[in-house]
Chain A
Amino acid sequence: MGKTLFEKIWDAHVIAQDEGAPAVLYIDAHLVHEVTSPQAFATLRERGLPVRRPDKTFATMDHAIPTRIGAVEVDWPDDAATQVRALRTNCADFGVPLFDIEGDIQGIVHVIGPELGITQPGMTIVCGDSHTSTHGAFGALAFGIGTSEVGHVLATQCLMQKQAKTFAINVEGSLGHGVTAKDIILAIIAKNGAGGGVGYVFEYRGEAIRALDMASRMTICNMSIEGGARAGLIAPDETTFEYINGRTYAPKGDAWDKAVAHWHTLKTDDDAVFDRELTLDATALEPMVTYGTNPGQGVPVTKRVPKASDLEDPAERRSLQSALEYMGLTEGQPIEGQHVDIVFIGSCTNSRIEDLRAAAAIAKGRRVSSHVEALVVPGSKAVKAQAEAEGLDRIFSEAGFEWRGAGCSMCLAMNDDKAGEGKYVASTSNRNFMGRQGPGSRSLLMSPIMAAAAAVNGRVTDVREIL
């Protein structure tokens, strides 16, 4: 019997498998950020250990830092400055390369990894961050780890892992106009549930996936964790190779040819069997919007918020009722037309140049509704520079969006961007948990073009009407 892509990468990285113990898995690239690493470096210090492979370790700062343009470090909140200083000291002491906010390269860890060509097919990639699943878009086995495990990888370049089960998600057909990768993944999670992928690694397959560019594939793999799976994979193809070619850390010359030849073998064999499968028809998808407090609580924009009486499972019913109470929404109401106070375009899900271009095309020549506060936060300094070179910053500014520096910003409310109590945020990020975007904030997750349309109209809008 053949192997799935996941099994191929897994088998190539298991360096030890003792009877009755989890496998010891070798890690090819370790990404580090300021929030989940300090305690891991402290463990190394306590035990007098070095970082085993600083050449496979890459650090940046993204979560705690302010993104307001012109925000100077002396004015930062103390705790953000403390974390950033701790990261600088740790990287200097242990010889880990750091993409510092002071330099030319910096951004959300899952945006800069691929951008620099660090992320490559067939690799194992980890980071103390659950959205490490993003890198699976390149056919890399990439997943988030806890801080203890960050310490393990720093010290040994290895992790103890149990092999996950495999789950094929087939997306057939082609997307309609105005329907995006974000809608595919929100639809998958709405169908399969926020816990539906626990214990599995997803592999996204099918015609609709093959047709996507790398930014869109990253959007999909990014939210694998919202579907419960620690990792999501897409087999690499010409689109992948073209994206990687020429990037800073990409192989060059002969090494490139060899790498590509190897990458061509990274696909699920025809006779391989998945533990589970799910098929979705892309042609039937519509733009999606979440109404609740977990990412599985989403509906097509043309539909209504479900009623408790529609649900059979008492736990689901309870979860719906408490979500709607928190969100201030009524069961059975149409989601289209829902009032919006804030629009956030950014995060590791949707802050790449392709996302910003699409949102700018909606913003161009229009105005942000007078009651809406809207911000656009590029995922990296490179995305920001590219957008500025294309004049996207001016389009956004003229339309009334605030243009920012690179970072996580309002995705998680641990820096100075927080949505206020009770505010509705049309957000391109990945989590709509209670308080995620600020105490009492109410997130409505959607695609960048849907968010731009919501900004212009001041309410949830079917973007297809204005495309």
Chain B
Amino acid sequence: MQPFTTLTSTALPLRTENVDTDQIIPARYLTAVTQEGMGDGLFSWWRYARDGSPNPDFVLNQPQYQGSEILVAGRNFGIGSSREHAVWALTQYGFRAVISPAFADIFYNNSLKNGLLPIRLPEETVGRLLDLVEEVPHTSMCIDLPSQTVTLPSLDSGGSGEPEGPWTFDIDPFRKHCLLRGLDDLGYLLDKEEQISAFEAAASY
């Protein structure tokens, strides 16, 4: 897993609530037996017209948001199917963090296991961030995992001109530790072999 420490990037605004994993990556992209190629299917119902051409109205296709590594979305992001393909699609497309007022549990967990940082911020803050990046697309945001903060280092024309934030976010200390070092759960679990065997013996499993 790629470690996550700090990230400074522009952000892509997705002003939609309840974005489900079927929207993030539709089932027809799930037929792969590897993780590759998922980025092409990201948001494909919205991103492509039925004939496969890019839909110019969808924010992902707008030139001002190209290269953004932060996605800002409405509440309940990632509801529905447990498909980890949704996280792979986001990371392969180039996202490294998603900011939303609330995430679905399975999506949140899957993100942490792939170095995609899910950041929960209050509804008003997310609303403010959406306004900002819609008005001034080249607003850059700085995410600092060690201090658990999001800041807007500078605001140009259209904004107030003053730096905003920092907004602090919560993250489980263990998950933070793993993200900062790029550690996955498997190594940790394999180290528990003794306890696992003892449990199995005691429970006559």
Contacts and interface: CB of A to CB of B under 8 A. Distances in A.
Interface of A: 15-16, 20-22, 24, 26, 28, 35-36, 38-39, 42-43, 47, 49, 52, 63-64, 79-80, 82-83, 86, 128-130, 144-149, 151-152, 155-160, 162, 164, 194-195, 198-199, 225, 228, 230, 293-294, 315-316, 318-319, 322, 412-414, 421, 431, 433-436, 439-440
Interface string B17-54: 11010110011101111110000000001000010000
A15 B196 CA distance: 7
Contact of B17 (A20, A319, A435, A440): A319
A316 B31 CA distance: 33
Nearest to A80: B31
A82 B31 contact: yes
A441 B54 CA distance: 20
Contact of B113 (A21, A146, A228): A146
A230 B50 CA distance: 33
A317 B43 CA distance: 22
Given A160-B185, A421-B50, A22 B172 contact: yes
Q: Which one of A86, A160, A230, A316 has the highest number of Cβ atoms from chain B below 10 Å of its Cβ? A: A160
A293 B205 CA distance: 44
B80 interface: yes
A385 B200 CA distance: 38
Contacts of B123: 315
Nearest to B123: A315
Given A149-B185, A194-B79, A228-B79, 10 more contacts: A15-B195, A144-B106, A156-B190, A159-B189, A162-B172, A195-B102, A225-B80, A316-B17, A414-B28, A434-B45
Contact of B109 (A28, A146, A319, A421): A146
A38 B199 contact: no
6 contacts: A22-B174, A49-B190, A80-B31, A130-B80, A151-B186, A315-B74
Contacts of A413: 26-28
A82 B113 CA distance: 26
A43 B114 CA distance: 13
Contacts of B195: 15-16, 24
A129 B109 CA distance: 14
Contact of B80 (A16, A164, A316, A431): A431
A195 B18 contact: yes
Contacts of B20: 294, 431, 433
B79 A294 contact: yes
A158 B109 contact: no
B189 to A, nearest CB: 4
Q: Which one of A38, A39, A64 has the highest number of Cβ atoms from chain B below 10 Å of its Cβ? A: A39
A36 B82 contact: yes
Contacts of B196: 15, 24, 26, 52, 156-158
Contacts of B190: 49, 155-156
Interface in B102-123: 102-106, 109-110, 113-114, 123
A146 B45 contact: no
A158 B199 CA distance: 11
Contacts of A414: 27-28, 30-31
A43 B186 contact: yes
Contacts of A21: 174, 188
B127 to A, nearest CB: 9
A316 B76 CA distance: 12
B174 A20 contact: yes
B100 to A, nearest CB: 11
**Which are the 5 A-B pairs with shortest beta-carbon distances?**
A79-B31, A414-B27, A146-B110, A38-B33, A146-B84
A160 B30 contact: no
B125 interface: no
A439 B23 CA distance: 11
Contact of A195 (B45, B75, B186, B192): B75
Interface in B56-96: 74-76, 79-85, 87
Contacts of B193: 156
A152 B82 contact: no
Interface string B137-175: 000000000000000000000000000000000001110
A14 to B, nearest CB: 9
B199 A145 contact: no
B22 A435 contact: yes
A153 to B, nearest CB: 9
Q: Which one of B31, B85, B186 has the highest number of Cβ atoms from chain A below 10 Å of its Cβ? A: B31
Given A38-B33, A42-B34, A149-B113, A160 B84 contact: no
A451 B28 CA distance: 26
Contact of B16 (A147, A194, A322): A322
A20 B172 CA distance: 8
A82 B33 CA distance: 8
B82 A128 contact: yes
B184 interface: yes
A384 to B, nearest CB: 23
A24 to B, nearest CB: 6
B188 A198 contact: no
A261 to B, nearest CB: 15
A11 to B, nearest CB: 13
